[in-house]
Amino acid sequence: MTDDATLWPRRKAAVLTLGAAAVLATLGAVYVIGTGDGNGSAAACAAAETAGKALKPLAKGEVAGFLPAQTPLSVADLAFSDDAGAQRSIADFAGKTVLLNLWATWCAPCREEMPALDSLQAELGSEHFQVVAVSVDRGTSDRPKAFLEEVGATNLPFYADPSMAIFNTLRERGRATGLPTTVLINGEGCALGAMYGPADWASPDAKALISAATASSSTN
């Protein structure tokens, strides 16, 4: 007959084993979130992955740090608010190639590249292309709006997410490491590639990249 003193170590070991299994399962789930598309539409973005890789020869000069998508990823669900406080998402720009830029006033490189993003929107913005610059400053929108006015960025509609949920979601999906983070997205809300760090988005190199991406999306 087995007494409680003998059973307890066995029960404890079983509990620890189950606990470890649960932790591993949780880590596995996090890994899937980090490499998947977050909303079950990876198959729909397979063409975007191919299109992104076709842009690699244009990742040079001022945009040499652009990394084409290596796996299908939908970002259509990424949410933020507009100047009026209304909820928006990347899905609202369906049919347009989007250059999504996450920035903040406390990020010096973000501040430096904002005039170039404004210039890019002024020159290439159309029914086929849009720069969507989302401020992730905490608190009210007064400070980021004042900064945009200060640098004369009049061509960029104001978008914000003070909760930083948009950044955290991209980080979970393996598409953000810090600020600024910029993601090039096709008309179906699928990532074509990303840039981690600043770039001169008004340069000929950047415009060639954007024009090729827009042309590619328009033919799909």
Interval 202-216: pLDDT, tens: 999 999 999 999 998
Average pLDDT over residues 129-135: 98
* pLDDT value at residue 95: 96
User: Which H helix or E strand runs over 214?
Assistant: helix 204-219
Structure tokens at 79: 């949410």
- Residue 107, SS3 per DSSP: coil
* Reported pTM: 0.81
**Whole-number Cα distances in Å, 49 to 42, 114, 141:** 10, 27, 35
Q: Which residue has the tokens 């949780």?
A: 26
Q: What is the DSSP-derived secondary structure letter of residue 74?
A: B
* pLDDT value at residue 28: 31
- Residue 106, pLDDT > 80, answer yes
Q: Are 77 and 93 in contact (CB under 8 A)?
A: no
**From the CB of residue 35, how many other CB atoms can be counted at a distance below 10 Å?**
14
- Residue 18, pLDDT > 50, answer no
Percentage of the chain modeled with pLDDT above 70: 80
* pLDDT value at residue 43: 79
Mean pLDDT of the chain: 85
- Residue 8, pLDDT > 50, answer no
- The string over 124-154, giving b where at least 16 C-beta atoms fall within 10 Å of a residue's C-beta and e elsewhere, is bbeeebbbbbbbbbeeebeebbebbeeeebe
Structure tokens at 111: 């501040």
Q: Are 183 and 100 in contact (CB under 8 A)?
A: yes
Q: Are 161 and 136 in contact (CB under 8 A)?
A: yes
Average pLDDT over residues 189-196: 97
Handedness of CA 54, 60, 63, 64 (dihedral sign): positive
- Residue 202, SS3 per DSSP: coil
What confidence tens digit (pLDDT) does each residue in 81-103 have? 999 999 999 999 999 999 999 99
**Window from 8-12, 112-116, 134-138, 146-150 with minimum mean pLDDT:** 8-12
